[in-house]
């Protein structure tokens, strides 16, 4: 298996690039943001609880997200590998993911971290807000999401750097050029 973590702040292009990556390399996409939004849409107990945090740009509690990921991995069948998008976002989540994958006899191979300057992130997300219908794509909540990223998520990069798995990639180029940069690294593992 080949397992990739696509890492980076809100608006860095994780979702956009995941689509290209899963189509090209035939991997399964696991986005905790998408899973949570689907729980919200279906008005499940988990969704109603998570919505309170998401609407404020705060992280949903670790135990909720880890439980959700665990079920998703169990449902995956014979996957060629996973692209984790927006997960792990805390060190506790990173540790839990390592354990879940170890149980499956596999591990994270590579962590690609998309780097985009803050003003550009804000611009992209507010732009997207015009059509996304996402309750967190407005200036006030975007600013909070970026703050939360610096406080709780950025340290996760250090966790993977320590494991020798972290590679940073410029995320400010066009969607196509960014995909080429990411592919150059993924191509060292699978074709």
Q: What are phi and psi of 112, to 5 degrees?
A: -100, 120
**Options 72, 128, 144, 154, the catalytic residue:** 128
* Closer residue to Mg ion in complex, CB, 64/104: 64
Which residues contact residue 48 at a Cβ distance below 8 angstroms, ignoring those fewer than 6 apart?
40
Q: CB of residue 93 vs Mg ion: minimum separation in angstroms?
A: 16
Coil, strand or helix at 169: strand
Residue 123 in contact with ligand AP5, rule: CB under 6 A:
no
Residue 169 in contact with ligand AP5, rule: CB under 6 A:
no
Site string for ligand AP5, 82-111 (x = CB under 6 A): ----xx-x---x------------------
Give first-to-last CA distance, the chain, whole Å. Answer: 12
Stretch in the footprint of Mg ion (CB under 5 A) among 25-33, 53-61, 118-126, 132-140: 25-33
Q: Judge whether 72 counts as a catalytic residue.
A: no
Binding residue for ligand AP5 (CB under 6 A) from 104, 128, 165, 185?
128
Residue 15 in contact with ligand AP5, rule: CB under 6 A:
yes
Question: How long a stretch of residues is the chain?
Answer: 191
Binding residue for ligand AP5 (CB under 6 A) from 21, 27, 30, 59?
59
Euclidean distance between CA atoms 8 and 5, whole angstroms: 10
Residue 10 in contact with ligand AP5, rule: CB under 6 A:
yes
Q: Judge whether 134 counts as a catalytic residue.
A: yes
Tokens of 106: 């596999």
**Options 72, 123, 134, 165, the catalytic residue:** 134
Q: Where are the beta strands (DSSP E) in 16-55?
A: 28-31
Cross-strand pairs, 82: 28
Coil, strand or helix at 166: strand
Q: Judge whether 43 counts as a catalytic residue.
A: no
Instruction: Give me the residue whose beta carbon is nearest to Mg ion.
Output: 15
> Taking Cα atoms as reference points, which of 112, 154, 110 lies closest to residue 10?
154
Q: Give the residue carrying structure tokens 């940069």.
A: 181
Binding site for Mg ion (CB under 5 A): 14-15, 33
> What residues act catalytically?
14, 89, 128, 134, 145
């Amino acid at each position: 298996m080949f397992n990739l973590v696509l890492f980076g702040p809100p608006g860095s292009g994780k979702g956009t690039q995941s689509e290209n990556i899963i189509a090209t390399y035939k991997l399964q996409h696991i986005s905790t943001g998408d899973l949570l939004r689907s729980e919200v849409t279906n008005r499940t107990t988990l969704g109603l609880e998570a919505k309170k945090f998401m609407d404020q740009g705060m992280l949903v509690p670790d135990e909720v997200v880890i439980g959700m990921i665990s079920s998703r991995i169990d449902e995956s069948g014979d996957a060629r590998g996973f692209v984790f998008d927006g997960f792990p976002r805390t060190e506790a989540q990173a540790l839990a993911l390592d354990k879940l994958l170890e149980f499956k006899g596999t591990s994270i191979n590579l962590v690609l971290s998309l780097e985009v300057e803050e003003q550009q992130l804000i611009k992209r997300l507010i732009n997207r807000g015009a059509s996304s219908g996402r309750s967190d794509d407005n200036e006030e909540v975007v600013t909070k999401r970026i703050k939360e990223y610096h406080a709780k998520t950025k340290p996760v990069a250090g966790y993977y750097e320590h494991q020798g798995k972290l590679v940073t990639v410029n995320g400010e180029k066009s969607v196509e050029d960014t995909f080429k940069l990411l592919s150059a690294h993924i191509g060292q593992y699978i074709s």
